[in-house]
Amino acid sequence: MRLNRTLWVSLVLIYSFIIRAQDPWQDAESMLRQALKRVDPMARSSSTSDRSRTEESGVLYIPMDYYEEEQEKRYAYFFSNEATDWQKKVHRLLRESSEIYGNPEATFILAQLHLWGDYGFPHNKTLAFKYSDKFNNLTRFTNSSVLFDLSVMHSTGFFGEIPVDRAKGLVYLQQAASLGNMQAKQALAYKYSSGTDVPRDCNKALLLYREIAESIRRSFSDEEWYLYPPYVETYDVRLPDLTGGLLGKGLTTWVKTLQGRLPSERPDITSSFLTKMDGGKVWLKFGSENSGASFTDNDDDSYDRIVDIYYTALDEYKGTYMTARDCEEARKILELTFITFDNEVPVMDNLPRFFYAKCIELLGHIYFTGEAEGHPNITLAERYLNRSLELFETYGSLGSTSHTDLGLISQYIKKNDTDAIKHYRKGEHTEFATGAGRHDFQLSLLSSKYPELKLGDPFMLIQHAYALGSRPAIYEFARMKESGMGGYYSCEDSIASFQLFVERSEELMAPQLRTAYGELLKENGEVALWAYAQAAEQGYEAAQVNAACISYLLPRNFEDPPKTTRERKLMSISYYMQALKQGNIDAGVVAGNIYFEMQDYSKSVQLYQSSALRFSPQALWNLGYMYEYGLGVEIDFSMAKRYYDQVLENNPKLYIAVKLSVLKLRAKAWLLWITGERSGYELGDRDNEQSDDKRVPWYKKLFESYKSAFTGNDESEGDKKEGDGSTQNADSKQKEESDEGTWTRLSSLGLHLEDFLSIAFILFLFLFSVIVRIIAARRGWNVNNADVRVNGNHGAHDGGQNNNVFRGNFEVRIAI
């Protein structure tokens, strides 16, 4: 019996040993360990060719057309033609391990591989979902990061791969959050605060956001928190902002400062000089490290060069939108500048001297934070900071970051608060630290510590630092708000500050934003879309816009919209609507445009209306158009005119375009009346006209109708206006009066009405189409709408028919 059992046990052991020996996971793992998971195109490689590429005005890639078949073909092509032996082998081993032996680790790697395109494999949604789901089954719903992935997949339908199931997404999300996943918690907090998928619940949202914020705070030591708040290199940018905003230059209304990535910024004073210097070549001379000789070969230019050096170093320190930051490179440049120019300071002009001081200031800051070498060198920092202050003396009151840095050194390293306060009070004008507002933050702390010194109200100081964007200040401010400091308590306000803090802690909460950005540079749209989809779920407004753009981008000029699937269009709309909820009114307009493009006009009207409530000129314009052509609403010319007029109030730059549209409306009211169609615009005293009908020649009738159109307009407008403000009403009356004046004057000049009408009408039609076309093209109006509006070539709907009527009459007039 006993023997039997031992035998049995050892058999099982041997069996399981054989199984283990056969599971190829170990081999696969050791292969993976030696390979590079992902190439980061933002990272500075040492090769100079890479570097100069970034100096050109790079364009981020946003995918347009999307065909499922094309993706599949590309996937098949990869495995038959492009895959390296290494890739083929690893893939085979992993699949064997997962499918035959049910190895969770291998399953996990396979899921991530197809989700993120790791190790150069192509993205594949089918497999990513399959393996994630399988891994989740194997681990019995205990791995929170995979649960979060699955949650995003379910609630987005994984862009057409699986059915959209927001309830299931929510369940997975709650499970992930309860297992402690921070991203899931953030997503859940966002859902509660915005009321997405769940009833709005301010208290739950606040609780979650605060919990996340506190655990972020705990992840920093006090030294990091107070002395060296880590620099966050942000990738939280809206892609359309890089090219003039969602609706294009001039029409984009939504401006909220994201400390986004910028192209390298240089003031105009250097521009002539920059061309002379052949762009950013300066760094090449630095890169070669052959001493400072390159500066001094031409004495006149060398001082101008300091300006360029400063901005080159600043670009390295901050990173631009095509390159990641590189503090060590910045330090090298600045150190070299110091060695080369310090002796020449007495003979320098004002401008180079100022920028030289800024160079030294930045150098001191880099040594103080230790960002270049990994550890601060306070002695050196103090030396450079002292030097920069000495140089700044000449410029009097200009605040310098050096004061803040020196203040921090006095307070935390030399423990001399008096000295520190002296420095902090000199203020700070900073363009390079995320720690903008650091001095106010410190003063606020000190003012609580030494109330007798009357340094100012701690709450006001923190609020100022918060407004400047200092991350510790945002956190402290949120806590003060929550405790009701500053006079009143509002749950929404507290949430907003905690949410801001959590979102700004991008390096912990949303590192995938950087991945997405890099993948776009590598033209991997689908991986970027996935990354943005995750961040969108977490509530990043920019990510929502970006995910919307990648899933479906309506072009801004007169091009055909890209081809894509219905699921992706709907997903895009849903993202724009989330962004709209967070206040991005342009997103509401674009979502409406997509519905328009899908010919779902009533939804379109709804979205335009919600953006029009916040005075988006484009939305008002679009509404006018919808009423003019009766898309999604009854044709109503007076409503149309009202909206067109409101555009003018909100964006006077569109004067001519609006005037022309209103003119067109009037002409149309005319013509519709002739052809006997009804519109809300020509409600004169119709009965009278009908009785007179036979006596009045047709052109008289036109004239009458023109006049009655005015009166009708006035009446109907008056009816509907109520509470809309009376200015506009008065305005339109004035217009009418002057219009009528013109008419009488012209007829008194002996100009025959018939002549006048035919000339005016032909001219009007001709000019209108030409002018609007030109204007529309110049202004880059929103494609679809402008296109439809101007050409009226959408034969399929009412708009087209109306325009046919319009055109038909045009020909009749010519015959006269």
Ligand X SMILES: *[C@@H]1O[C@H](CO)[C@@H](O)[C@H](O)[C@H]1NC(C)=O
In the bound complex, what is the minimum distance in angstroms from residue 327's beta carbon to ligand X?
Answer: 16
In the bound complex, what is the minimum distance in angstroms from residue 272's beta carbon to ligand X?
Answer: 38
Q: How far apart are CA 547 and CA 516, in angstroms?
A: 10
When CB distances to ligand X are compared, the closest residue is 75
Stretch that binds ligand X, among 69-77, 434-442, 546-554, 712-720 (CB under 6 A): 69-77
Tell the burial category of 711 from Cβ atoms under 10 Å away from its Cβ (0-12, 13-18, 19+). middle
Residue span 438-467 as binding mask against ligand X, x where in contact by CB under 6 A, dash where not: ------------------------------
Neighbours of 357 (CB within 10 A): 26
In the bound complex, what is the minimum distance in angstroms from residue 77's beta carbon to ligand X?
Answer: 10
Q: How far apart are CA 721 and CA 53, in angstroms?
A: 57
Q: How far apart are CA 813 and CA 761, in angstroms?
A: 8
Q: How far apart are CA 673 and CA 53, in angstroms?
A: 62
Tell the burial category of 562 from Cβ atoms under 10 Å away from its Cβ (0-12, 13-18, 19+). middle
Interface positions, 235-294, toward ligand X (CB under 6 A):
none
Write the DSSP string, 362-423: HHHHHHHHTTTTSS--HHHHHHHHHHHHHHHGGGTT---HHHHHHHHIIIIIS--HHHHHHH
- Among 38, 44, 95, 130, the residue binding ligand X under the rule CB under 6 A is 130
- Among 32, 242, 351, 380, the residue binding ligand X under the rule CB under 6 A is 380
Structure tokens at 672: 């519709």
Which CB, 91 or 779, lies closer to ligand X?
91
Which CB, 143 or 604, lies closer to ligand X?
143
Structure tokens at 319: 């990173």
- Among 45, 418, 483, 804, the residue binding ligand X under the rule CB under 6 A is 418
Q: Residues touching ligand X: how many (CB under 6 A)?
A: 25
Binding to ligand X by residue 379, rule CB under 6 A? yes
Binding to ligand X by residue 404, rule CB under 6 A? no
Which CB, 455 or 631, lies closer to ligand X?
455
Closest CA to 779 of 664, 663, 662, 656: 656
Binding to ligand X by residue 72, rule CB under 6 A? yes
Stretch that binds ligand X, among 140-148, 644-652, 666-674, 733-741 (CB under 6 A): 140-148
Q: How far apart are CA 211 and CA 217, in angstroms?
A: 10
CA 621 to chain centroid, in Å, comes to 23
Binding to ligand X by residue 426, rule CB under 6 A? no
In the bound complex, what is the minimum distance in angstroms from residue 145's beta carbon to ligand X?
Answer: 5
Q: How far apart are CA 530 and CA 512, in angstroms?
A: 9
In the bound complex, what is the minimum distance in angstroms from residue 303's beta carbon to ligand X?
Answer: 26
- Among 197, 335, 344, 419, the residue binding ligand X under the rule CB under 6 A is 419
In the bound complex, what is the minimum distance in angstroms from residue 709's beta carbon to ligand X?
Answer: 57
Which CB, 71 or 729, lies closer to ligand X?
71
Going from the C-alpha of 396 to that of each of 242, 382, 390, 507, the distances in angstroms are: 37, 20, 11, 38
In the bound complex, what is the minimum distance in angstroms from residue 141's beta carbon to ligand X?
Answer: 9
Binding to ligand X by residue 82, rule CB under 6 A? no
Stretch that binds ligand X, among 123-131, 222-230, 565-573, 610-618 (CB under 6 A): 123-131
Which CB, 45 or 137, lies closer to ligand X?
137
310 close to 338: Cβ distance less than 8 angstroms: no
- Among 23, 96, 133, 519, the residue binding ligand X under the rule CB under 6 A is 133
Q: What are phi and psi of 180, to 5 degrees?
A: 95, 10
- The one-letter amino acid code at 181 reads N
Residue span 337-376 as binding mask against ligand X, x where in contact by CB under 6 A, dash where not: ----------------------------------------
- Among 241, 329, 382, 506, the residue binding ligand X under the rule CB under 6 A is 382
Structure tokens at 85: 């032996």
In the bound complex, what is the minimum distance in angstroms from residue 134's beta carbon to ligand X?
Answer: 4
In the bound complex, what is the minimum distance in angstroms from residue 382's beta carbon to ligand X?
Answer: 4
Which CB, 108 or 575, lies closer to ligand X?
108
Q: How far apart are CA 633 and CA 626, in angstroms?
A: 7
392 close to 353: Cβ distance less than 8 angstroms: no
Binding to ligand X by residue 494, rule CB under 6 A? no
Binding to ligand X by residue 98, rule CB under 6 A? no
- Among 98, 134, 667, 706, the residue binding ligand X under the rule CB under 6 A is 134
Binding to ligand X by residue 126, rule CB under 6 A? yes
Residue span 142-161 as binding mask against ligand X, x where in contact by CB under 6 A, dash where not: -xxxx---------------
In the bound complex, what is the minimum distance in angstroms from residue 179's beta carbon to ligand X?
Answer: 7
Which CB, 94 or 702, lies closer to ligand X?
94
- The one-letter amino acid code at 357 reads A
91-97: Cβ within 8 A, 24+ apart: 91/121, 93/24, 93/25, 93/27, 93/28, 93/31, 94/24, 94/25, 94/28, 96/24, 97/23, 97/24, 97/25, 97/28
Q: Is 487 left (phi over 0), alpha (psi -120 to 50) or beta?
A: left
Structure tokens at 269: 């004073």
In the bound complex, what is the minimum distance in angstroms from residue 127's beta carbon to ligand X?
Answer: 5
- Among 75, 86, 141, 768, the residue binding ligand X under the rule CB under 6 A is 75
C-alpha angle 528-530-536 in degrees, rounded to nearest 5: 100
Stretch that binds ligand X, among 26-34, 87-95, 125-133, 334-342 (CB under 6 A): 125-133
Closest CA to 409 of 434, 381, 430: 381
Residues that bind ligand X (CB under 6 A): 71-72, 75, 105, 108, 124, 126-127, 130, 133-134, 137, 143-146, 377, 379-380, 382-383, 386, 416, 418-419
